[in-house]
C-alpha cells in the first residue's frame, strides 16, 4: 500500500427511458475507464426482499422508494469514488426527477448523460444529450469526447467567498 493520496473518482449518471438502454451504455463507458464501478437502480431493487413499491407507483410511496433507490446507488458510488474509481449510476431518471437525483448527489459534480427520446420532453436539458438509437459503444465514446458538456454542478460556487489571491 502506498501513502500517496487517492484522487476522488468522477460520478456519472446515465439516464434513458429504458434502464436496459442506460445499463448498456453505462457498461460500455465503464469498460473504457481504467477503474470504474457501474451501479444500476435495478440492482438495488433486486436486493429488496419485501416492501418494494410497485414500479408504476407515482404517489408518495413511489417517490420515497425512488429516492431510497438513488440514495443507495449514490452511497455505493461514493464508497468507490473515495478510492479513486469512477462511478456510473444508470437508471430511468426523467422529468423533474432529474433535479431530485441531483439534489441527492449534491455537492458532487455529476456528469449527466441523457439518452434522448421523444418521451423526455419534460426532462430539463442539463448535461449531455445523445441519440438513444446509436450503439452503446458509440455513445460511450461520445461521452468521453464531451466530458465537459456533461458536467452539471449541483451547488453554485460561493460568490461571497474570499479570494485566495
> C-alpha grid cell for residue 139?
455513445
Which candidate, 102, 144, 107, places its Cα nearest to that of 123?
102
Q: Where are the domains of the chain?
A: 11-49+58-152
Which candidate, 50, 49, 104, 51, places its Cα nearest to that of 78?
104
116 pairs with which residues across the strands? 131
> C-alpha grid cell for residue 81?
469514488
Predicted TM-score of the model (pTM): 0.88
CATH class of the domain at 11-49+58-152: alpha beta
From first to last of its 165 residues, the chain has per-residue pLDDT tens of 567 788 999 999 999 989 999 999 999 999 999 999 999 999 988 887 777 777 676 778 888 889 999 999 999 999 999 999 999 999 999 888 999 999 999 999 999 999 998 878 889 999 999 999 999 999 999 999 999 999 999 987 664 444 333
Amino acid at each position: 500500500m502506498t501513502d500517496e493520496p487517492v484522487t476522488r473518482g468522477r460520478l456519472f449518471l446515465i439516464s434513458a427511458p429504458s434502464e436496459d438502454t442506460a445499463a448498456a451504455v453505462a457498461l460500455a463507458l465503464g469498460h473504457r475507464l481504467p477503474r470504474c464501478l457501474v451501479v444500476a437502480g435495478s440492482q438495488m431493487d433486486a436486493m429488496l426482499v419485501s416492501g418494494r413499491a410497485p414500479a408504476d407507483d407515482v404517489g408518495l410511496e413511489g417517490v420515497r422508494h425512488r429516492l431510497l433507490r438513488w440514495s443507495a446507488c449514490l452511497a455505493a458510488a461514493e464508497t468507490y469514488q473515495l478510492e479513486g474509481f469512477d462511478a456510473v449510476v444508470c437508471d430511468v431518471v426523467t422529468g423533474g426527477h432529474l433535479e431530485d437525483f441531483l439534489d441527492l448527489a449534491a455537492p458532487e459534480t455529476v456528469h449527466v448523460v441523457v439518452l434522448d427520446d421523444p418521451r423526455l420532453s419534460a426532462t430539463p436539458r442539463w448535461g449531455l444529450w445523445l441519440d438513444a438509437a446509436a450503439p452503446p459503444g458509440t455513445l460511450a465514446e461520445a461521452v468521453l469526447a464531451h466530458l465537459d458538456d456533461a458536467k452539471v454542478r449541483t451547488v453554485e460556487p460561493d460568490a461571497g467567498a474570499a479570494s485566495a489571491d
